[in-house]
């Protein structure tokens, strides 16, 4: 565990609360017309994580228009994925320290810790250091605006209110919180299952434990082909073999054909993971055992 761990009560309440709401939906009748809304929400929120937070902001695998960027930034906020700069800073540090004692969410601390409980604990000054690690993301006005909690929560609250008005409370649970439940857990499975030594398979001999797990890849819109990603972090395609279905790769490809995405990194040679020269100024405290 991190030294001087601090339980993040607000994060715990939100993360566990939306999952409870998603689970409660299964106690109520399902209506057929919920299905297309649920699928649309799953894709919007899921691409908010995979397309926007991960491949665009974190790894700069491509460039896109401000409107596409804003569309999926809002999708990530509706899905309560986390503040963009904090998300990016944490993920970049994960790549730097993958499966070491300094990794924010490695299964070496246990599968449950890597999947969920790491979110609730932060080392001292974690937020400040993450923002510094991802300071390039703050050049976008909407990223800076989302540092204010009320701005970050506004898209989620607005969508929740609209669904309640349109479908009632039960429809709100099915159409918003069930997709959030699945997006959350498939995203977390990339951290836990896709770093578990006995899971999946490896195409590349990377220095970490990253794995390609087919079912996680399907549910996470391509993110589960994680060994491919750790071998070539900037590559926009995580699924690289014909059977590695990567829906985010398909979205990037389609938008590139439409001229809405450009400078796509389709070929990124596998490289050893090295510590950036300026990493000494970003001293995340190590966990103490």
* Secondary structure of residue 261 in the 3-state scheme: strand
**In the 8-state DSSP scheme, what is residue 106?**
-
Position 271 confidence tier, pLDDT thresholds 50, 70, 90: low
Query: Which pLDDT score is estimated for 135?
Result: 87
Query: Which pLDDT score is estimated for 278?
Result: 35
- Residue 89, judged by CB atoms within 10 A of its CB (0-12, 13-18, 19+), counts as buried
Position 287 confidence tier, pLDDT thresholds 50, 70, 90: very low
This prediction's pTM? 0.89
Q: What are phi and psi of 122, to 5 degrees?
A: -135, 140
Which tens digits make up the pLDDT trace of 143-176? 999 988 889 999 999 999 999 999 999 999 999 9
The Cα-based distances of 36 to 39, 111, 160, 179 in angstroms read 5, 33, 16, 11
What is the average pLDDT score of the chain? 88
Report whether 237 contacts 61 (CB < 8 A): no
Query: Which pLDDT score is estimated for 269?
Result: 61
Distance CA 196, CA 182 (A): 20
Query: Which pLDDT score is estimated for 267?
Result: 84
């Amino acid at each position: 565990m991190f030294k001087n761990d601090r339980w993040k009560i607000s994060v715990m309440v939100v993360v566990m609360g939306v999952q409870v709401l998603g689970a409660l939906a299964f106690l109520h009748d399902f209506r057929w017309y919920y299905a297309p809304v649920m699928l649309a929400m799953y894709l919007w929120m899921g691409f908010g994580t995979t397309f926007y937070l991960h491949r665009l902001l974190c790894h700069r695998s491509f460039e896109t228009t401000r409107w596409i960027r804003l569309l999926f930034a809002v999708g990530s906020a509706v899905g309560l994925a986390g503040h963009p700069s904090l998300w990016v800073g944490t993920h970049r540090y994960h790549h730097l320290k993958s499966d070491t004692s300094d990794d924010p969410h490695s299964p070496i601390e246990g599968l449950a810790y890597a999947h969920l409980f790491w979110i609730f604990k932060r080392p001292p000054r974690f937020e400040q250091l993450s923002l510094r690690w991802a300071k390039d993301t703050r050049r976008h006005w909407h990223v800076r605006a989302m540092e204010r909690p009320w701005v970050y929560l506004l898209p989620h609250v607005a969508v929740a209110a609209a669904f309640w008005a349109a479908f009632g409370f039960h429809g709100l649970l099915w159409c918003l919180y069930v997709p959030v439940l699945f997006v959350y857990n498939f995203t977390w499975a990339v951290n836990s299952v896709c770093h578990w030594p006995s899971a999946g398979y490896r195409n590349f001999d990377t220095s970490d434990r990253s794995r390609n797990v087919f079912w996680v890849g399907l549910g996470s819109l391509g993110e589960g082909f994680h060994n491919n990603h750790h071998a070539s972090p900037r590559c926009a395609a995580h699924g690289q073999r014909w059977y590695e279905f990567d829906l985010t790769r398909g979205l990037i490809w389609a938008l590139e054909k439409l001229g809405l995405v450009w400078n796509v990194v389709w070929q990124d040679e596998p490289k050893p993971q090295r510590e950036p020269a300026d990493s000494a100024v970003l001293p995340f405290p190590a966990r103490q055992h």
